Structure 1
């Protein structure tokens, strides 16, 4: 099964632990998982780690060629690099620079290739195109099964 992820980047440390546990519980025992993720800080990287822990394959979708250099902060770089090395496939959208359009293209590439979308989402409306709420709405519109993961006690940081 091909499973994608969308979710918040700004999780508190406690929320990150709760979300990680919930993602691992959801994927536990699933067979033949291919996780599709942009491996951004927060939900995307927690999901990628959960996929690998479950024995699945990781497919990375990057919004742009400069994503690593311009968008990955120093405190996320080690995890990002480790996940890139663990990925079986890396797709880079045809954009030199990360931009709203590049993020939308990455969301499109992910949504068009998955059977299920895990949304690490607090349920709040989005603030613009390319965010979690929009990805959830787009997935539902396409008929992709959406499972919202937002454990009790989770909060954005």
Structure 2
């Protein structure tokens, strides 16, 4: 499947296919750790766990996944979304040829190339290597602006700078939208939903087991966040 490639403003830069407009349903952003902060065996366990969470929250209208396609969480989520016929929107912090330098191992580069080729849409943000931290922060900001719900694989540790997992979660919650939180190595049954109740501000956050929530509960949270 070929993708249409867009710049940050949505203008077509290179058209290798056709676009059919915005996806129906909801937009789910993903953030999370790279392989160096994931447990051994993550390659076989993470995509199924993320897929199980997607099964719980995806509406009948379908979903679009926003992913930076980094090795680890991002790539696992893209595979899980594709297995569920979700639309994959790759949002890259740099032009693709520059971003490819992030993938030093040949297996990781092969995975990136394959997922990029399969993406339904690609947005290249205008990041540069001499301002790499700002580029990753811009990617995080894009996710927060466009996602209805954030899927986060996070070890609970303090953030390591702008654009990191903890930073994106913090901004998503402050924007009034919910976060599905899965700890690295945990099964989907242990995931929790984070959101701010009226009057709350981080670090005071409402946390509820995802397994206890019905589709109606998710819809109510998404409807409430849509008005923020």
Taking structure 2 as the reference length, the TM-score comes to 0.63
Aligned-pair distance for 1:55? 0.6
**Matched residue, 1:25:** 52
SS in 1 for 2:91: strand
Q: Which digits, 9 at most, give the CA deviation of each residue in 1:61-93, with x for residues without a partner?
A: 10012111x212222011111111111110111
**Matched residue, 1:4:** 29
SS in 2 for 1:101: helix
**Matched residue, 1:93:** 125
- Equivalent residue runs for 1:1-80 within 5 Å: 1-10=26-35, 11-28=38-55, 30=58, 31=60, 32-65=62-95, 66-68=98-100, 70-73=101-104, 74-80=106-112
SS in 2 for 1:12: coil
Q: Which has the higher contact order (CA 8 A, sep 6+)?
A: 1
Taking structure 1 as the reference length, the TM-score comes to 0.90
Report the more deviating stretch, 34-43 or 21-30: 21-30
The answer to whether the 8 A contact 1:19-1:120 is kept is no
Gaps of 5+ in 2: 1-25, 188-228
- CA–CA separation in structure 2 for the residues paired with 1:116 and 1:152: 20
Q: Which digits, 9 at most, give the CA deviation of each residue in 1:90-117, with x for residues without a partner?
A: 0111124370011111111121111000
* RMSD after superposition: 1.6
Report the more deviating stretch, 21-30 or 116-125: 21-30
- Equivalent residue runs for 1:137-152 within 5 Å: 137-150=170-183, 151-152=185-186
The number of aligned residues is 152
SS in 2 for 1:112: helix
- CA–CA separation in structure 2 for the residues paired with 1:63 and 1:95: 6
Of 123, 131, 137, which residue of structure 2 is paired with 1:104?
137
SS in 1 for 2:171: helix
The answer to whether the 8 A contact 1:33-1:57 is kept is yes
SS in 1 for 2:156: coil
**Matched residue, 2:162:** 129
Gaps of 5+ in 1: none
